[in-house]
Amino acid sequence: MFDRYTPVPASWRHPSAGGLRAGLLAVACGLVVAACATTTSPTGRTQVVGAVSQEQLQQMGIQAFEQAKKTGKISTNSGQTRYVRCVVDSLTRQLPPAQQGGWEVALFVDDSPNAFALPGRKIGVNTGIFKVAENQDQLATVVAHEIGHVIAHHHDERVTRQMGAQTGLGIVGAIVGSAYGQGAASATSQFGGAAVQAGLLLPNNRTQESEADVVGQQLMARAGYDPHEAVDLWQHMMSAGGSQPPEWLSTHPSPGTRIQELDKRADGLAPTYQQARANGNTPQCG
């Protein structure tokens, strides 16, 4: 998600801690659900997942999305809704066939420039995003980033971490609690509704944010959106924060570093973008 991130401690992110961290999570996961396993993310990172089945995870996403629609205000602006729907459709057509159809989109009346995607093929976008996404390519940057979280199994990973924290192993609970903050730790007091909120709607950590940037920028280029527009989008995000960087940028070491990485990748993705356009992927959403 684009707002209200909690930075992850350096000890959680440091490569030398990765093996111990994965081992502890694997032990905790084994005490919770035997189905836990390791998998490889789109960028080659080892992930511990599987505390719940894919069917359960999708149901959790659907439940969280329905709750968001009940508590939020859905926009009646048909033009903006069609615009968002068009961008979503153009991006999801580039996913593997089994993941392409059936994505539900909701446009929320909310001034915060935010968006999210959930398992179960659910995407929410706030009307405030139009303050920073000035064209369809920049809106695609936001949506593709959020889809990236789903297809990179970040929600599965977070749910597994949260359920691992509930095993009573103090050291594992401490690690996960420090990663997500005290509010997240208390939210995991019981499975069910609390787990939906804690596992699916918690801020993403810096590793996941970087990964969603990579996956999302690749996806938007394949769909025929200019990957260089991701740089402009995040510059607008920075400007929206005034003298202080927006809170949603706190998951990276610095906004400048994030923009440099996006800019560097955009150059490498230029051939992908150009080939997509040559193949007829020329979105005309707005």
Q: How confident is the model at residue 202 (pLDDT cuts 50, 70, 90)?
A: low
Interacting residues of 213 by C-beta distance below 8 A, sequence separation 6+? 145, 148, 230, 258, 261, 262, 265
Name beta bridge partners: 105: 123
- Count CB neighbours of 172 within 10 A: 23
Is residue 43 over pLDDT 50?
A: yes
Residue 65 burial class via C-beta count within 10 angstroms: exposed 0-12, middle 13-18, buried 19 and up: buried
How much is the pLDDT for 250? Answer: 53
Q: Kindly tell me if the per-residue pLDDT of 102 is higher than 60.
A: yes
pLDDT recorded at residue 89: 97
Give me the pLDDT at residue 241, please: 64
- Taking only the tens place, the pLDDT of each residue in 144-175 is 999 999 999 998 888 887 776 554 333 333 32
- Mean pLDDT check: name the lowest of 19-28, 85-94, 96-105, 136-145: 19-28
**In the predicted model, what is the mean pLDDT of residues 72-100?**
96
Is the pLDDT reported for residue 177 higher than 70?
no
User: pTM for this structure?
Assistant: 0.76
d(CA 241, CA 80): 24
More confident residue, 236 or 192: 236
Domain ranges of the chain: 10-278
> Which of 148, 150, 144, 149 has its CA nearest to residue 129?
144
